[in-house]
């Protein structure tokens, strides 16, 4: 593996980021950081979707221009991702000039080759979904199932894309590549949707939607959201100029998206790519939703949670605990839940009591019994570290299937096994019995495993992992395949004053009074 290209969905900027947006970005960042431990070149794309009727209406209601609204809210997303240590390579905005020009050229190419045609149409349009709905997909009350609002009847002359032309090819691709849509149970949903797929509108009349990218040669039409939004995955790489980045990174390794937009990514996007004669992404990973205290987020219920508010409420200097909790909150592709109580209980148990305390007490015993020095005779066969290297492979396999919660459980299982090893071998008893070589071997074995644990936990908790690596004198840039069972060097490792807790319990006095990042 020499390069890895990963993307998130681009977020619609008619409002500020909430915990659902953060969930996807954290998942993607954890995946990207993991693959940075396996290859030298990871490209991570995220951004904002900034055209359409909702932006137009929201801006008008606030008495500002659509661009002013987009500028204001796009910055809120950037600020939130910075606070959560989302380490993206590029942040694309669909109002970026290069993107708008590229989308116009894509649209024009498809029009000239006959994949786009003009057609009068009357249908049920949901502004929340930014798409026309089939009557059979509505609730019994005639509402959009996702937004629970009645779609409006829209009659326009628009440009349409020949989606039906690519139906059979998409079905074949899905069946021939069972890991194209993950988790695999989502593929059946898509195949069912493909049964009665119809051509789709790819423009809107400017009389209804002014805020959009102009169709070249047609002043009365704006390019409709899906060609605009989905194309960001290739325009960000310089598709229009056939740039080196585009040649290097396309096709994408994985699009990380919410299950509510799976249809657009697994049907519309492959069809657009087929029409452009481009290879399809290797994987589309559809994650579930995050509820709040087992209730779906809703402005009317007042339970929409800002991701940065969690950091502020718990006075956390670093976002690692929140990142770990969110990334491990649900099995692959299933829905998850956030609650303050569960958050505090889980991260205290896993990060403070188990992992952090294990490192702290092991280093403290090394200082107490050996003045922080690892002696040559402490180096012995380490079956526990060999088990740890086996865990590395298990974690890699989970990440290959985007099973982040499952990978997290494996890491904590390794922590638990190491804690059991300490209890079973009781280095404090060995010291009391003056079996100092055996005591040193036990402590060194544990510290070697802690190097592996620091490496594995890094994608979830980069700051905690760096603190662990510093106290272990371990090079955190070591690739996963280069990890050994013998990372701790012979010689002075640490002094008493350099031993620091890597994670304070959230309910501890020190954590409550901890300083925040400026």
pLDDT at 489: 95
pLDDT grade, residue 125 (50/70/90)? confident
Task: State the catalytic residues.
Answer: 18, 21, 126, 129, 144, 147, 296, 299
Q: Quote the CA–CA distance of 232 and 305 in Å, as a whole number.
A: 28
Q: Are 149 and 128 in contact (CB under 8 A)?
A: yes
Q: Are 293 and 319 in contact (CB under 8 A)?
A: no
Tell me what the mean pLDDT of segment 109-129 comes to. Answer: 88
Q: Are 440 and 375 in contact (CB under 8 A)?
A: yes
**pLDDT of residue 513 exceeding 80:** no
Q: What is the CA radius of gyration of the chain?
A: 26
**pLDDT of residue 296 exceeding 80:** no
Cα-to-chain-centroid distance, residue 34: 11
Q: Quote the CA–CA distance of 182 and 401 in Å, as a whole number.
A: 8
- Three-state DSSP class for 55? helix
CA angle centred on 64, ends 59 and 66, rounded to 5° = 50
Q: Quote the CA–CA distance of 263 and 270 in Å, as a whole number.
A: 10
For 191-249, the pLDDT digits (tens) are 999 998 999 999 999 988 899 999 999 999 999 889 999 999 999 999 999 899 999 99
Q: What is the dihedral of CA 73, 74, 77, 79, to 10 degrees?
A: -100
For 298-354, the pLDDT digits (tens) are 665 666 789 899 999 999 989 999 999 999 999 999 999 999 999 999 999 999 999
Please give the CATH number for the structural domain made up of 4-292. 3.40.50.620
Nearest CA to 350 out of 329, 365, 331 is that of 329
For 212-224, the pLDDT digits (tens) are 999 999 999 999 8
**pLDDT of residue 81 exceeding 70:** yes
pLDDT at 512: 45
pLDDT at 156: 80
Comma-separated ranges of CATH 3.40.50.620 domains in the chain? 4-292
For 60-76, the pLDDT digits (tens) are 999 999 999 999 999 99
pLDDT at 341: 93
Cβ neighbours of residue 420 closer than 8 Å, sequence gap 6 or more? none
Does domain 320-512 fall under CATH 3.30.360.10? My reply is no
Q: Quote the CA–CA distance of 179 and 192 in Å, as a whole number.
A: 17
Q: Are 237 and 244 in contact (CB under 8 A)?
A: no
Percentage of the chain surpassing pLDDT 90? Answer: 82
pLDDT grade, residue 141 (50/70/90)? confident
Q: pTM for the full model?
A: 0.92
Mean pLDDT of the chain: 93
pLDDT grade, residue 508 (50/70/90)? low
What totals of helices (H) and strands (E) does the chain contain, helices first? 21, 18
Comma-separated ranges of CATH 1.10.730.10 domains in the chain? 320-512
Dihedrals φ, ψ of 284, to 5°? Answer: -125, 115
For 5-33, the pLDDT digits (tens) are 999 999 999 989 999 999 999 999 999 99
């Amino acid at each position: 593996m020499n390069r890895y290209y990963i993307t998130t969905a681009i977020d619609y900027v008619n409002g500020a980021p909430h915990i659902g947006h953060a969930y996807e970005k954290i998942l993607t960042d954890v995946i990207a950081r993991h693959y940075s431990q396996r290859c030298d070149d990871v490209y991570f794309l995220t951004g904002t979707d900034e055209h359409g009727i909702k932006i137009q209406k929201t801006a008008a209601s606030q008495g500002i221009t659509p661009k002013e609204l987009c500028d204001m809210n796009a910055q809120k997303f950037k600020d939130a991702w910075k606070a959560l240590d989302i380490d993206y390579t590029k942040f694309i905005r669909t109002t970026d000039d290069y993107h708008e020009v590229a989308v116009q050229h894509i649209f024009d190419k498809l029009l000239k080759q006959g994949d786009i045609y003009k057609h009068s149409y009357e249908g049920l349009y949901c502004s929340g979904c930014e798409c026309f709905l089939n009557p059979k997909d509505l609730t019994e009350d005639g509402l959009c199932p996702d937004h629970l609002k009645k779609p409006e009847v829209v009659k326009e002359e628009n440009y349409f894309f020949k989606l039906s032309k690519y139906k059979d090819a998409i079905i074949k691709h899905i069946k021939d590549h069972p890991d194209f849509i993950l988790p695999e149970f989502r593929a059946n949903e898509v195949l069912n949707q493909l049964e009665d797929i119809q051509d789709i509108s790819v423009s809107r009349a400017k009389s209804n939607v002014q805020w959009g990218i102009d169709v070249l040669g047609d002043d009365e039409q704006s390019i409709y959201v899906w060609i605009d939004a989905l194309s960001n995955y290739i325009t960000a790489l310089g598709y229009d100029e056939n740039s080196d980045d585009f040649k290097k990174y396309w096709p994408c390794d994985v699009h990380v998206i919410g299950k509510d937009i799976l249809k657009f990514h697994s049907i519309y996007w492959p069809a657009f790519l087929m029409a452009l004669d481009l290879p399809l992404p290797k994987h589309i990973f559809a994650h579930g939703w995050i509820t709040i205290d087992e209730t779906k987020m809703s402005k009317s219920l007042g339970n929409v949670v800002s991701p940065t508010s969690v950091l502020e409420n718990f006075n956390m200097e670093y976002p690692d605990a929140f990142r770990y909790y969110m990334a491990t909150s649900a099995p692959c592709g299933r829905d998850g839940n956030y609650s303050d109580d569960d958050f505090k209980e889980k991260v205290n148990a896993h990060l403070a009591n188990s992992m952090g305390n294990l490192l702290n007490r092991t280093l403290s015993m090394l200082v107490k019994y050996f003045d922080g020095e690892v002696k040559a005779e402490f180096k012995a066969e380490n079956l526990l570290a060999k088990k740890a290297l086996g865990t590395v492979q298990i974690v890699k396999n989970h990440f290959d299937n985007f099973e982040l919660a499952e990978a997290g459980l494996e890491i904590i299982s390794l922590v638990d096994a190491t804690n059991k090893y300490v209890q079973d071998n009781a280095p404090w008893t060995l010291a009391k019995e003056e079996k100092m070589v055996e005591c040193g071997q036990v402590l060194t074995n544990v510290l070697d495993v802690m190097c592996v644990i620091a490496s594995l936990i890094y994608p979830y908790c980069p700051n905690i992992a760096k603190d662990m690596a510093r106290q272990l004198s371990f090079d955190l840039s070591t690739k996963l395949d280069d990890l050994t069972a013998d990372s701790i060097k012979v010689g002075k490792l640490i002094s008493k004053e350099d031993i620091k807790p890597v994670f304070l319990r959230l309910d501890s006095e020190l954590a409550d009074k901890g300083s925040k990042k400026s």
